[in-house]
Amino acid sequence: MAYSSSSSLCSACLAFFFFFFFTLLLHGSRAQLSSTFYASSCSNVSAVVRNVVQQAQSSDVRIVASLLRLHFHDCFVNGCDGSILLDNSDSIQSEKDATPNKNSVRGFDVVDDIKTAVENVCPGVVSCADILALAAEASVDLAGGPTWDVLLGRRDGTTANPTAANNMPSPFDDLDTLKQKFSDVGLDDTDLVALSGAHTFGRAQCRFFSSRLYNYSGTGSPDPSLDSTYLATLQQNCPQGGDGTTLNNLDLTTPDTFDNKYFTNLQSNEGLLQSDQELFSTSGASTISIVNSFAGDESTFFQSFASSMINMGNINPLTGSDGQIRSDCKKVN
């Protein structure tokens, strides 16, 4: 009887050990990200990244919004693994050619400049995926927004996924679709509204919203949620049948500053993209109160945005011995 009891106890201990071990395997990647990951191997990496971003901003005011967008488009496809940066090759079908990205996402040259600068001081240490995360934080800060401790330790993927890139959150999505796409990567409604607030700076091409101006949902009429004065301005900027690549400010109030005016614009029915205005104009939506909260208190938005950026940066990172540290962000080693 004593032997049987001891055997059962050992079996229970082994079962717990294996459960604990496999739990670590499943959740270890998130735990391994740390704001001090490069403290001993590349302690000044944040300053190096920020310096290059600041130099780029001095000649291109749009670049900070573009670099933030690159991080978003990276993380929503296969997690934050730098896959958005890979060019076409014999083994890679690039995400750059996916519909949401082609002739739209930009800033790749600046990422290359950052990588060169980082390699000069810390060769073979910092991943391209982490460079995107650091550049996003620096960009927001340089535009007047919040700062946060960027969690680091991601490694670079060796594959791309243009199919998934074609199914990421879209400016044409309704609210239910947006909420589902965010939920699919572990993000909630607050994350959706906070991260959408990144549209407080930057530009969008006419082709991403012109259907709202002339033929909303196949009605042959403009989107009724658009403020009439704003509609007239947009129709002038984006005439029917005109150049679909013409740029328009995402935030008509303070287009180059990271602030909470995006949300007050939504309250005035002056959201540029359908996916923007859906957050406020969808009847009974849970997102309305979040928009109102952010519109009423910029510090609340800033705190939530920083938290949501950390959440997004935690989407399926490669860590440990997975992936690689690319020497050139555009191609696998």
Mind telling me the catalytic residues? 73
Q: Are 255 and 265 contacting, i.e. CB atoms less than 8 angstroms apart?
A: no
Sequence ranges of the binding site for substrate:
169
CB-based contacts of 287, cutoff 8 Å, min separation 6? 175, 189, 192, 193, 279, 280
Q: What is the C-alpha end-to-end distance of the chain, expressed in Å? A: 60
C-alpha span between 164 and 71 (Å, rounded): 15
C-alpha span between 330 and 24 (Å, rounded): 32
**127: buried, middle or exposed (CB in 10 Å: 19+, 13-18, 0-12)?**
buried
C-alpha span between 87 and 291 (Å, rounded): 37
Give the Å distances, CA to CA, from 300 to 138, 143, 179, 276: 20, 17, 21, 19
Region class of 291: left (phi > 0), else alpha (psi between -120 and 50), else beta:
alpha
CA 203 to chain centre: 16
